[in-house]
């Protein structure tokens, strides 16, 4: 009887056992992105709050330049010492390691001060909070080091009105589609100006002699000299720019139009797509051939 009870308890324990975690590091940083337009020689202060929800850790701060990693808004940190030291004079913050207990947090006060002679253009940085690990554990291992970063987009401008210029690198959709495949757009916008911007606009899809649909572009940052794939936004969610509807037929005129940060002249491009029910036609042909074959065999 005792053994049965023990087995039952053991089975229950196994049944409700959750994955076990040896330890965790959990850091958060706020705000994750800061956008500044600032005159050379002036200062701007930002507070970054780093919070620890895991085991007690020691964190050290750093500011690193970054460049766009891809066309999706991801960053590639530039960690070579020359690049880091080139901007050392721009930032003032307490670099001392800080111990954070579980649920502890620390506010870093970062002062951004582009020198008076700084060139008028964009500069991109990431404020990093890095967990300090013990070195040399004494056995073969791969240490994991955790960092969380908040991006800082700095536009240095004397008059606060930098020239912003956008170009449509790609606005594409298939020219001929089946009625059931939907109509998906690729939008790639480039920045050939002197400051980052957000495109504010939409794709207007007119079916010739039919209805009009509107897809709103997501207002995503496009950095200077770069290009970015722009998705659409519906409510709070970023979604692919795809024409809703289960059955498309006829000629569709799609017009991409946006302004830079919601101001100035509209940048536009138009494309056309023909939707035809090829699958239905194909099915009818198959049925017709089958019918002919059956009739022929009977005769």
Partner 1 sequence: MYQNFSYIMLKRRLTLVGVAVFFVVAFITLTVRLTNIAKGSSLTAASLTMSNSRLSYKAQPTSGAINTSLITISGTTQPDINTGHLFPGDVVCFTDAGQNGCIGNTTYTVDSIVDGTHFNLNTPLTTAVDTSGWVIATQSGTWTIAFTNVAAVPIGGSLTVSIPMADNAKGANGIPDSSTTIASSGFDLGTIGPANVVISGCTPANWGVATIATGSGVVDHLITFTRSSGSCAASTAMVVTIGGPGVINPAPLVAPNHTQGVADVYGVTVTTKDGGGYTLDSAVPRAAPIEAVLVSATVDEALSFQVQGMTSGSPYCGNNASVSASATSIPWGHFTVTNGFVYADQQLTVSTNATSGYVVTLSESDQMGRNGNVCTGSTPSVGNYTFGTATCIRDTTCSPGGCTESVMSDWTDPVGYVGLGYSLASQSGTDAIFWYNQGARIFNAKALADIQGGKTAQAIMSNTGPVNGNSIYVCYKIAVPGTQPSGYYYNIAKYTATATF
List residues binding partner 1 (CB under 8 A): 19-33, 49, 51, 53-55, 66, 68-70, 72-77, 79, 124, 126, 128, 131, 133-134, 136-151, 153, 196, 218, 220-221, 223, 231, 236-238
Question: Angle CA(81)–CA(87)–CA(92) in degrees, nearest 5?
Answer: 115
Number of neighbouring beta carbons within 10 Å of residue 278: 14
Min separation Cβ 27 and partner 1, Å: 6
Q: Tell me the closest approach of the beta carbon of residue 185 to partner 1, in angstroms.
A: 16
Comparison of 141 and 297: residue with beta carbon closer to partner 1: 141
Nearest distance from C-beta of residue 155 to partner 1, angstroms: 13
In the complex, least distance from residue 10 CB atom to partner 1, rounded to whole angstroms: 17
- Report the alpha-carbon angle 87-112-155, nearest 5: 85
48 Cβ contact partners less than 8 Å away, ≥ 6 residues apart = 29, 30, 31, 107, 108, 110, 127, 129, 150
Between CA 273 and CA 208 the distance in angstroms is 11
For residue 266, how far is the Cα from the chain centroid? 24
Strands 33-38 and 91-92 turn out to be unpaired
Among residues 145 and 212, whose Cβ is nearest to partner 1? 145
Quick one: 53 or 178, whose CB is closer to partner 1? 53
Question: What DSSP state is assigned to residue 116?
Answer: T
The DSSP bridge pattern shows strands 263-276 and 176-178 to be: parallel
Q: How far is the CB of 78 from partner 1 (least distance, A)?
A: 10
The rounded distance, in Å, linking the Cα atoms of 69 and 250 is 40
The CB-of-81 to partner 1 minimum distance in angstroms stands at: 12
- Nearest CB to partner 1, comparing residues 143 and 161: 143
Cβ atoms 49, 90 nearer than 8 A: no
Q: Which is nearer to partner 1, 140 or 212 (CB)?
A: 140
The nearer residue to partner 1, 159 or 236, going by C-beta atoms, is 236
């Amino acid at each position: 009887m005792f053994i049965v009870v023990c087995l039952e308890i053991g089975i229950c324990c196994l049944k409700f056992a959750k994955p076990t975690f040896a330890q965790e590091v959990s850091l958060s940083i706020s705000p994750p992105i800061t956008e500044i337009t600032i005159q050379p020689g002036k200062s701007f202060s930002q507070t970054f709050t780093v919070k620890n929800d895991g085991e007690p850790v020691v964190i050290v701060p750093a500011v690193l330049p970054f460049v766009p990693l891809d066309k999706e808004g991801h960053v590639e940190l530039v960690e070579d010492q020359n690049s880091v030291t080139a901007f050392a004079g721009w930032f003032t913050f307490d670099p001392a390691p800080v111990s954070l207990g579980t649920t502890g947090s620390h506010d870093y006060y970062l002062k951004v001060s582009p020198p008076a002679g700084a060139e008028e253009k964009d500069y991109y940085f990431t404020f990093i909070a890095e967990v300090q690990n013990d070195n040399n554990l004494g056995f073969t291992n791969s240490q994991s080091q955790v960092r969380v970063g908040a991006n800082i987009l700095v536009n240095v401008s004397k008059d606060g009105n930098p020239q912003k210029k956008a170009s449509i690198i790609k606005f594409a959709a298939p020219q001929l589609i089946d009625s059931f495949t939907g109509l998906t757009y690729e939008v790639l916008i480039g920045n050939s100006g002197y400051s980052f911007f957000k495109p504010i606009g939409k794709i207007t899809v007119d079916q010739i002699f039919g209805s009009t649909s509107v897809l709103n572009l997501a207002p995503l940052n496009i950095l200077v000299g770069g290009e970015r794939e722009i998705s659409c936004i519906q409510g709070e969610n970023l979604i692919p720019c795809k024409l809703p509807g289960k059955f498309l037929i006829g000629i569709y005129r799609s017009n991409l139009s946006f302004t830079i940060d919601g101001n100035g002249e509209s940048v536009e491009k138009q494309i056309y797509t023909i939707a035809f029910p090829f699958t239905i036609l194909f099915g009818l042909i198959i049925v017709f051939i089958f019918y002919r074959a059956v009739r022929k065999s009977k005769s």
